[in-house]
Structure 1
Amino acid sequence: MKSVMLFAASLLAATSAWAGPKVELVTNMGTMQVELNEAAAPATVANFLRYVDDGSYEGSIFHRLIPGFMVQGGGFDTNYQPLPTYSPVVNESNNGLKNVTGSIAMARTQDPNSATRQFYINFNDNHSLNGGRAAGYTVFGQLTLGEEVLEKMAKVPTGMNLTMRARDVPKQDIILQSVRRLDPDAADSGSKTAQAYATAPVATVVKK
């Protein structure tokens, strides 16, 4: 009940704060929608939509899950192999958007300007990720549909994965089956052509 109330409060704040491109994320556990804030995080939103438009999020997985914290994905295929990336995007964490329940943000390494394709969705209000004197993790949108899917994800058991050599890996695959824009005005602005990729360090969201 608490998580539902927190999501409702976050949703109300989001819908009153902006109206930006909407993206549908169809997973094998259900469908979610996120609304992006390109006014507050223009470079990050453009970066995220680049991967949406080229179709490379489709078939990727949520590879890291910490109950009560967040679920992270978009960077690996179902064989736990890293997917190619475009160049990193500049950190925009100082944009006034917060890591609250249902918000979507970019994962990165210790380098603030290292975010590429991996993103995460907050299960709770994670204020420690907002930064302060140091750069935080860039929030660029908010879940507007599918809170029950997010809650279902949070209950998936996790453990050690030898292929990834990492903990907190879901024991049940959570797959992004389809990721597409829902904003008709933006439908033709994304490039579908293949472009040069670069390999980047594995991103992570540090639980502080």
Structure 2
Amino acid sequence: MGINLSHPGCLKITELTGSTATQKVFSCKLVGVGSVPVIITDGNKNSLYTGNLTIPLAAQPQVTMNTSLGNIVIELNPAKAPITVDNFLNYVESGFYVNKIFHRVIKNFMIQGGGFTADLSQPATQAPIKLEAGNGLSNLRGTIAMARTSVFDSATSQFFINAVDNKSFDAVDGYAAFGKVLSGLDVVDKIQAVPTTTRSGLNDVPVNNILINTMLQTK
């Protein structure tokens, strides 16, 4: 009949080889921490098990961003920003961030990327997400947040890393922080210090492209 597993703390639940008729083994990408409900049903949607699984804070997902100036390791916080983390990891998993650039760099403010290629074209993105600003995570130096337009629920793929404390972004109508830099803050500082220009109608574009070569979930 088959077995179906529902777990909102996981992305892309996959049954692993080695499962048997009496024991199933699954893997997933974690996007939740704390006590998370687990529901198991059979192929006819009959309930087989309902309970909670506690995922420790130490299991928070991490992403390694390889840039042309070095690596930045980012720890995500799905407990505070579940929609935003889910969205970000979907882009990471799909390979969307490969060969993108930091297209907006302002010294002593922030570095923004994840939406443009080196020729400043913009690939199609997923649907915009609900704004999760005011979630208790402050836009302090080294935190990552989603960029958006003047429309609150408009964030797609673009993100920025705060180069300084930007606490004015913390209001419910501000910008949703969803993680922090664990290592590579020196790379952030290298990026924020590069010379910029105006190109294709965009301000604060680095004179020499700062590439995001790859972005992979490493935990």
Structures share fold, TM-score greater than 0.5: yes
Indicate the SS of the match to 2:134: coil
- Which residue, 111, 116, 123 being the options, matches 1:76? 116
Indicate the SS of the match to 1:95: coil
Gaps of 5+ in 1: 1-17, 184-208
1:44 to partner: Cα distance: 0.2
How many angstroms apart in 2 are the aligned matches of 1:36 and 1:111? 24
Q: Which amino acid aligns with 1:56?
A: F
Give the structure-2-normalised TM-score: 0.73
Q: Which amino acid aligns with 2:189?
A: E
Deviations 1:65-105 (A, max 9, x none): 11000000000011100121101110111210011000000
State yes or no: 1:168 paired with 2:219. Answer: no
Spell out the pairing of 1:175-190 with structure 2 (5 A cutoff).
Answer: 175-183=211-219
Q: Which amino acid aligns with 1:67?
A: K
State yes or no: 1:21 paired with 2:98. Answer: no
Identify the residue that residue 33 of structure 1 maps to in structure 2: 73
Indicate the SS of the match to 2:181: strand
How many angstroms apart in 2 are the aligned matches of 1:140 and 1:179? 16
How many residues end up aligned between the 2 structures?
A: 163
Identify the residue that residue 111 of structure 1 maps to in structure 2: 151
Indicate the SS of the match to 2:149: coil
- Identity of counterpart residues, as a percentage? 43
1:155 to partner: Cα distance: 1.0
How many angstroms apart in 2 are the aligned matches of 1:61 and 1:167? 14
Deviations 1:6-26 (A, max 9, x none): xxxxxxxxxxxx541000000
State yes or no: 1:67 paired with 2:103. Answer: no
1:151 to partner: Cα distance: 1.0
How many angstroms apart in 2 are the aligned matches of 1:47 and 1:155? 29
How many angstroms apart in 2 are the aligned matches of 1:104 and 1:150? 11
- Which residue, 153, 172, 180 being the options, matches 1:142? 180
Identify the residue that residue 30 of structure 2 maps to in structure 1: none
Indicate the SS of the match to 1:153: helix
Q: Which amino acid aligns with 1:145?
A: S
Q: Which amino acid aligns with 1:160?
A: T
Identify the residue that residue 159 of structure 1 maps to in structure 2: 197
How many angstroms apart in 1 are the aligned matches of 2:111 and 2:193? 11
Deviations 1:106-132 (A, max 9, x none): 000011100000000000001111125
Structure (1/2) with the larger helix percentage: 1
The structure having more radius of gyration, on CA atoms, is 2
Deviations 1:29-55 (A, max 9, x none): 000100000000000000000000000
**Which structure's relative contact order is higher, taking Cα pairs within 8 Å and 6+ residues apart?**
1
Indicate the SS of the match to 2:186: helix
Deviations 1:148-189 (A, max 9, x none): 11111111001111x2x0211111111000100011xxxxxx
How many angstroms apart in 1 are the aligned matches of 2:165 and 2:212? 24
Q: Which amino acid aligns with 1:83?
A: P
Gaps of 5+ in 2: 1-56
Q: Root-mean-square deviation (CA), in Å?
A: 1.2
State yes or no: 1:121 paired with 2:161. Answer: yes
Give the structure-1-normalised TM-score: 0.76
